[in-house]
Amino acid sequence: MIAVLEPGCSLKQKAAIVRSIEAEGFRVQVSEHGGRSLVGVVGSGAARMEIQLRAMPGVEEVQPVAPPYPLVSRAGHPQPTRIRIGDVVVGGKQIVVIGGPCSVESREQLLTAAGYVSASGASMLRGGAFKPRTSPYSFQGLGEEGLKLLAEAREKTGLPIVTEVVAPQDVALVARYADVLQIGARNMQNYRLLTEVGQQPKPVLLKRGLMATLQELLLAAEYVVSSGNPRVMLCERGIRTYEKATRNTLDIGAIPWLKERTHLPIVADPSHACGIRTLVTPLALASVAAGADAIIVETHPNPAEALSDKEQALLPEDFRAMMDALRRVAVAVGREVREPRQA
C-alpha cells in the first residue's frame, strides 16, 4: 500500500505518518516523485492500515497497490532507476556491455580477456569465482583466489567487476572485491541469499531463474529492495522450454514487458540464453533492439580450453565484431553504446 502525501505536507506530519506505520509493525519505504512523497507500507497485511492513513493530516490519497511488488513497480516510481557503478551508469541512455569469461581460470586467462574486453569498448568485466555447478564433480571455481584476480584485472583495466555469490555466508567476502554482486539463475529464489545481498550496499545483478515467471522475478527483486538495497538490475538469460535446439529460449518479450512494469534496469544475457557461439551476437543485437539497458556476454581468449561453457564463449574477434554491430543498432533505437573514458 502506498500513501501519496500532499505537496505541502510538513516534516512533522510526515514523521507522524511514518511512526504510525512502524507502530503497527510495518516497514516504511519513502521515495520522492514529481515534488511529492510516496510512503510505502511494507509487510504482510499492510492493507489494514488504509483507513487510519487516509485520516492523517498530510495524506492526499492511499493507493491499494495492485502489483504485489510495490517497491520495484513503476506504479509508485515512474522514473527509471539509474545505477551508478564507478563512472558507469546502467539504466540511462547508454547501453552498457559487460564481457568476460564464464569462470576465472587463471591469471593469464583473466588478464588477457580483460585486456581485449576493455580494448573492444566494453564497460564492465564479468567472471565467476564461485560457480554453482550441476554436478558435484565439475570445476567449482577458484573462490577467493578468483576474486583477487578479478580485483587485479580491475586495477589494470579500470573496468568494474561483476561476479556471482552463491551462499549467504559468502556475501561479505564477495562484496569486498566485487563492484556488482550477481545472483545466478539457480539462486533466484534462494530467499536467504536475496535478503543478505539486500543488506549490503553493492548493486545486485539478479538473473531470472530458468523456470521463473516474470512475476516471480519481480518478487525476487522485491526481496532485495525491501531488505534495504534499491540498486538491483534484472537479467533475462533464457528460460527452459521444450525446445532443445538451443540451450535455453531467450524470452525476448520479457525485456519490453519488464520495462513497462518496473523502474529497474534490464540486462540481457544472450550467451546463456542460447549456448551456441554463432547465435550470441544476433541475440545481443535483438536484445538491444527490444530495449535492454545492458548486455552481459561470455568471451574467452581460447574457448576450446575453457573449463565451463566453452560452446558459447565468443572469441576475441567475435567480441569486437559484436561491439561494432551493437553500436549501430543502439543508435538505430535512439541510444548509444557506452564507451570507456579516454585516458
Position 244 contacts a second copy (CB under 8 A): yes
Interatomic CA distance for residues 135 and 343, integer angstroms = 44
C-beta of 153 vs 224, nearer to a second copy: 224
Cell 512523497 sits at which residue? 37
Binding mask 167-206 for a second copy (x = CB under 8 A): xxx----------------xx-xxxx--------------
Of 14-22, 111-119, 199-207, 254-262, which part binds a second copy (CB under 8 A)?
254-262
Q: Which of residues 210-239 bind a second copy (CB under 8 A)?
A: 210-216, 219, 222-223, 226-227, 239
- Applying the rule CB under 8 A, the residues between 129 and 148 that interact with a second copy are 132-139
240 binds a second copy (CB under 8 A): yes
Count the neighbouring beta carbons within 10 Å of the beta carbon of residue 25: 10
Of 258, 324, 321, the C-alpha closest to 292 is: 258
What is the Cα–Cα distance from 312 to 277, expressed in whole angstroms?
Answer: 4
Q: What angle do CA 321, 322, 326 make, to 5 degrees?
A: 120
Minimum Å distance from CB 160 to a second copy? 26
Query: CB 81 → a second copy: shortest distance, Å?
Result: 18
Size of the site for a second copy (CB under 8 A): 75
d(CA 238, CA 252): 8
In the complex, minimum distance from the CB of residue 127 to a second copy, in angstroms, rounded to a whole number:
19
Residues 81-120 that bind a second copy (CB under 8 A): none
Decide whether 208 or 338 has the Cβ nearer to a second copy.
208
Please report how close the Cβ of residue 236 comes to a second copy at its closest, in angstroms. Answer: 11
CA nearest 271: which of 213, 305, 231, 318? 318
Given a contact cutoff of 8 angstroms between Cβ atoms, the answer to whether 174 and 184 are in contact is no
59 has which bridge partners?
5
Query: In angstroms, what is the minimal distance from the CB of 207 to a second copy?
Result: 13
The amino acid present at 212, given as its one-letter code, is A
Q: Which residues are paired to 38 by β-bridges? A: 4, 31
Q: Which of residues 27-66 bind a second copy (CB under 8 A)?
A: 42-44, 46
Nearer to a second copy, 110 or 193 (CB): 193
